[in-house]
Amino acid sequence: MKNIHSFDPEVAASLELELNRQRDGLEMIPSENFVSEAVLEALGSVTTNKYAEGYPGKRYYGGCEYIDTIEQLAIDRAKKIFGAEHVNVQPLSGAPANIAAYEALLDHGDTVLGMDLSHGGHLTHGHPVTQSSKIYNFVRYKTNAEGKLDLDNLREMAIEHKPKLILVGYSAYSREIDFERVQEIADEVGAMTMADIAHIAGLIAAGEMNNPVPIFDIVTTTTHKTLRGPRGGMIMCKKKHAKAVDKAVFPGLQGGPHENVITAKAIAFKEAMQPEFKEYAKQIKANAKVLEVELGSRGFKLMFGGTDNHLLLIDVTPKDVTGHEAETALDKAGITVNKNMIPDDPRKPLDPSGIRLGTPALTTRGMKEDEMRKVADWIDRAISARNDDDELSKIKAEVEEMTKNFPLYEKLSYTE
């Protein structure tokens, strides 16, 4: 069989350009990371050839004995990492995992208390544009005037709306979550609890943030982001919900699982069990704190008052720039972030007031506090010079020079 570069040079050329973009730039989108070479290898392994509808020991296809071993390894490792009673590693991504979780626990029309998207929630937490919002009655809570999650207000809303499910966990909220207090509120009103820990799963796995898995009814996550595995999803739950969860995933929502991704999940979970991963997670938070201080001192307005995790949500309008303009300028400077709405943003999602950035990918490359200080300076300079392409090119050259000290996939090439 031919390699990519000999069979399809057009695709190979684009892959090489993307590889160089990742090598030469600063990847700061908080939901992105760099997987290990072992995870990359697993994604392209022979397990991609195998259909395996069903679950280990209960398949609808023959020839699954080795696939069963791999998937069970992924399940057992996730149980150990998070203290889970039951794990389903088959969800294709975080959004399908959330949809399956709703299907497992709820009847159509049930009320769910979830976070408003602009205050740090996720589309699948009940945003009106999503299908789930048409199936269930989502009531959305917000942060308070100080930008913090107000659990007293959450309790008041729970008493008023009597939800069947209280949902916490966010895509742009940067503070710790008191899961035990949320469970107390749920117990008071007779609700079930769900946490979406997609962004902070790696920090939880390393013991650097509170873990809802032993407390809540059900917990969903992606397996990339801070967990640094392949792009995929996972559901963890109490044993009493196990059958409903498995049925909701297959055959309720999905067909054959992507066993090459599950293979990569198993490897990533083993990586997360190593002592080095704990140090990595600590450094993620340390790097984010440096950015908090450095960007705050340069006049950026930090949402939620700062960060306890891996990300920062920043209102850039005090710099007389929109989120879209800031993202574009930073792209030209070799720094990748994403434009993002801020709480009660008066602007539109495609041209919001803020940007969202984080430290997982930079930390994977070995960058620490000194590099974060340089990064903060480059961010400030690039946004200030957003209309000066010469200055942005100069910053990009400085970025590329620094990244040479933190090599990425040194032996990988798609054109040789």
pLDDT, tens only, 20-76:
999 999 999 999 999 999 999 999 999 999 999 999 999 999 999 999 999 999 999
Catalytic entry in 24, 32, 53, 380:
53
Catalytic entry in 8, 51, 328, 374:
51
Catalytic entry in 27, 71, 116, 196:
196
Q: Are residues 260 and 349 in the same domain?
A: no
In a domain, 415, yes or no: no
Our answer to whether residue 134 is catalytic in this structure is no
Q: Are residues 173 and 286 in the same domain?
A: no
In a domain, 35, yes or no: no
**Lowest-pLDDT range of 2-11, 127-136, 190-199, 290-299:** 127-136
Q: Are residues 223 and 363 in the same domain?
A: no
Cα–Cα distance between 170 and 119 in angstroms, integer?
9
Picking from 256, 272, 288, the residue at the C-terminal end of a domain is 272
The CATH number given to whatever domain includes residue 297 is 3.90.1150.10
In a domain, 412, yes or no: no
Residues 333-351 pLDDT 10s: 999 999 999 988 999 999 9
Residues 63-74 pLDDT 10s: 999 999 999 999
Residues 139-189 pLDDT 10s: 998 888 777 888 999 999 999 999 999 999 888 889 999 999 999 999 999
Our answer to whether residue 196 is catalytic in this structure is yes
**Per-residue confidence (pLDDT) for residue 27, from 0 to 100:** 98
Q: How many residues does the chain have?
A: 416
Our answer to whether residue 222 is catalytic in this structure is yes
In a domain, 416, yes or no: no
Cα–Cα distance between 317 and 96 in angstroms, integer?
34
Omega within 30 of 0 (cis) for the link into 251: yes
Statement: residue 390 has pLDDT above 80: yes
Picking from 272, 296, 313, the residue at the C-terminal end of a domain is 272
Amino acid at site 361 = A
The CATH number given to whatever domain includes residue 260 is 3.40.640.10
Q: Are residues 313 and 248 in the same domain?
A: no
Q: Are residues 20 and 160 in the same domain?
A: no
In a domain, 409, yes or no: no
Distance, C-alpha 189 to centroid of its chain: 30
Our answer to whether residue 51 is catalytic in this structure is yes
Q: Are residues 294 and 351 in the same domain?
A: yes
Our answer to whether residue 225 is catalytic in this structure is yes
Confidence of residue 128 (pLDDT cuts 50, 70, 90): confident
Higher pLDDT, 125 or 134: 134
Our answer to whether residue 394 is catalytic in this structure is no
Q: Are residues 14 and 61 in the same domain?
A: no
Closest CA to 358 of 81, 171, 147: 171
Cα–Cα distance between 354 and 339 in angstroms, integer?
6
Q: Are residues 214 and 126 in the same domain?
A: yes
In a domain, 413, yes or no: no
Q: How far is CA 221 from CA 31, 199, 372, in A?
A: 12, 8, 27
Could you tell me which residues are beta bridge partners of residue 137?
A: 111
Strands (E), 240-381: 301-302, 311-315, 335-336, 338-340, 354-358
Cα–Cα distance between 267 and 104 in angstroms, integer?
28
Q: Are residues 47 and 20 in the same domain?
A: no
Statement: residue 121 has pLDDT above 80: no
Catalytic entry in 222, 223, 226, 263:
222
Domain containing residue 208: 40-272
Confidence of residue 1 (pLDDT cuts 50, 70, 90): low
Q: Are residues 212 and 93 in the same domain?
A: yes
Residues of the chain with pLDDT > 70, as a percent, come to: 100
> DSSP for 360-395?
HHHHHTT--HHHHHHHHHHHHHHHHTTT-HHHHHHH
Catalytic entry in 77, 225, 381, 396:
225
Q: Give the CA-trace dihedral at 172, 323, 293, 177, to 10 degrees.
A: -10
In a domain, 411, yes or no: no
**Per-residue confidence (pLDDT) for residue 161, from 0 to 100:** 97
Q: Are residues 295 and 217 in the same domain?
A: no
Picking from 272, 292, 316, the residue at the C-terminal end of a domain is 272
Cα–Cα distance between 344 and 332 in angstroms, integer?
29
Q: Are 356 and 315 in contact (CB under 8 A)?
A: no
Catalytic entry in 231, 238, 285, 386:
231
Instruction: Please state the domain count of the chain.
Output: 2
